[in-house]
Amino acid sequence: MKKENFKPIDSIIPPPPIHWVGDGFRVHNFFPGPQGLETRISPFFLLDYNSKHLFLPSEKQRGVGVHPHRGFETVTIAYHGMVAHNDSTGNSGVIGEGDVQWMTAGSGILHKEYHEKNFSKNGGIFQMVQLWVNLPAKYKMTSPKYQPILKSEMGNYKIPNNGGNVFVIAGNYLNVKGPASTFSPINLYNVVLKSGFSVDLSFPENYNTGFLIIDGEVNINETEVVKENSYVLFKNSGNDIKISAIKDCTVLVMNGEPINEPLAYYGPFLMNTKEELQQAFEDYQNGLFGYLDD
């Protein structure tokens, strides 16, 4: 891997201040926001990161109650703790360490996410990521669907000499494919490396790329040291990226072809025009997103 082919780092962003989503998700919101990253990391639109947090035992299941979405997908990735999902199409599921819930809101859905019942009762360390993935205009009104993806079902590239793994959620890495179906080209990996080992990645120059350092400490492209809970945004030049583990690490790799279309968004809706936003509100108020018990 030649250094002249490295994809340069645009910026390294420390974790923003904490805020709560419902009473169960204590998150750093990296985007969207005043820095405008949502236009630089398309097709990804939102990144909420619940860094490691100890929740005490509770009989009440913490989480987020029933709410609507239209025009995008929600992707919840579990690192510690367990989350339960229910939606208005009748889908439900529970994910634990390493698992993913990939929900396509499409034309409209109601859903809720809570700490799983036994996790709530026992308490413990909780660490999660939620991404919003934009849908191209021609798929904004696609039928809702739900993809539960267990860690055991992911593509798994084993790094030589027991150096770690690249768990492929979507896209592919060295011909190892991920199980998630997507509406635009996306590569989404969990890279797990032991200290002293490295992994080489390569992406099309025009694809947007960002890393979230979930655990540990890494050296990127043999030049920049990046600590836990930081976000790395790359420039749209060069193809190659080298991740070297200074400490045992987990890195969430987000890469995809940008969706170069207008954005109109408000609250739980992500559309292309203000008129479509207004229609989404009206359809929700008229009960067209279905029904779900709170």
pLDDT, tens digit (0-9, with 9 covering 90-100), for 20-30: 999 999 999 99
pLDDT attached to residue 3: 78
Return the number of other C-beta atoms located less than 10 Å from residue 89's C-beta.
18
Q: What is the pLDDT of residues 126-175, one digit of tens each?
A: 999 999 999 999 999 999 999 999 999 999 999 999 999 999 999 999 99
High-pLDDT (> 90) share of the chain, %:
96
pLDDT-wise least confident of 29-43, 92-106, 133-147, 238-252: 29-43
* pLDDT value at 234 more than 90: yes
Mean pLDDT, rounded, for 202-212: 97
Phi and psi torsions of 13, nearest 5°: -110, 120
Mean of per-residue pLDDT scores for the chain? 96
pLDDT attached to residue 233: 97
pLDDT attached to residue 148: 96
* pLDDT value at 36 more than 80: no
DSSP 15-79: PPPEEEETTTEEEEEEESSTT-GGGTSTTEEEEEEEEEEEEPP-SS--EEEEEEEBSEEEEEEEE
Instruction: Give the integer Cα–Cα distance in Å for 149 and 101.
Output: 6
Structural domains of the chain, ranges and CATH numbers in brackets: 3-285 (2.60.120.10)
Q: What is the pLDDT of residues 52-104, one digit of tens each?
A: 999 999 999 999 999 999 999 999 999 999 999 999 999 999 999 999 999 99
pLDDT band at 39 (very low <50, low <70, confident <90, very high): confident
pLDDT attached to residue 33: 82
> b/e for 117-138, b at 16 or more Cβ within 10 A?
eebbeeebebbbbbbbbbbeee
pLDDT attached to residue 267: 93
Name residue 5's amino acid: N
Instruction: Give the integer Cα–Cα distance in Å for 264 and 39.
Output: 12
User: What is the signed CA dihedral for 153, 157, 159, 162, rounded to 10 degrees?
Assistant: 30
* pLDDT value at 2 more than 80: no
